Amino acid sequence: MPRYKLTIEYDGRPFAGWQRQDQHPSVQQCLEEAAHKLDQSDVLVYGAGRTDSGVHALGQVAHVDLVKDLGADKVRDALNYHLKPHPVSVIEAEAVSDAFHARFSAVQRHYLYRIIDRRPPLTLDRGQAWRVSQTLDANAMHVAAQALIGQHDFTTFRDAQCQADSPVKSIDKVAVARYGEEVQITVSAISFLHRQVRSLTGSLVEVGTGKWTPADFKAALDAADRQRCGPVAPPDGLYLTAVDYPEAQSAVPDG
């Protein structure tokens, strides 16, 4: 059975998240139903990450095994045809070896959080960015965020419903930058705790508004205490932007 790596973007607003659920629509369900119409078989789609309800993706990655060997471009176009009218698009399909697994082969995941700090309500960006009515100090937020780099006990920024075995994770890169009226937070790591990015974003906004200092933020992290977390940011502004893999596992075997 040919295996295909899918790069996917979606608007998370209509969905209860990535993972298939019994009572609510999910991105995984939409893709599996589209793949079933294409392949006429029971198809499972495996994603690189389980984004929450309302969270978007610019570069989610999944893999799927199909009975039919249609070629990558036809798989992409056929899936997109059957995905209508859902706000989900397969940007690229690529034939890969059986050794490739969208979740377990990933070596890096990249997230973006968009904040627009202005008084007027959002129109075009409603549901796709977090509006904060107070002007944020992006430089102070960036300074505070550097405390996150490296391996830490992230209990402070771990959701109570997180099912990970340990709160200890490593963040490889984090940056906060302003682009006009938009403040962007970018975070990269091999894996994340449940709602970790939204939790740390809410606390960084506390720094941006002047309620916390960068030292307060670091103290909250070091406390490893969920009660020290600031308000959790809404899902609106969060995007899974890319997932990285070793090049060798993305290749189709010869013969």
Catalytic positions, written as ranges: 52
Nearest CA-CA partner of 197 in 241, 250, 243, 233: 233
* Residues 147, 154: Cα–Cα separation, whole Å: 11
- What residues contact 212, with CB distance under 8 A and at least 6 apart? 144, 203, 206, 220, 230
- DSSP calls for 106-128: --EEEEEEEEEE-SSPPSTTBTT
Q: Reduced to 3 states, what is the DSSP secondary structure of residue 71?
A: coil
User: Can you tell me whether residue 47 is helix, strand or coil?
Assistant: strand
Find how far residue 16's CA is from the centre of its chain: 14
Longest CA–CA span in the chain (Å) reads: 62
Q: What is each CA distance from 77 to 8, 80, 83, in whole angstroms? A: 12, 5, 10
Torsions phi, psi for 224 (to 5 deg): 50, 50
> In 3-state terms, what secondary structure has residue 175?
strand
Q: Are the CB atoms for 186 and 111 separated by under 8 Å?
A: yes
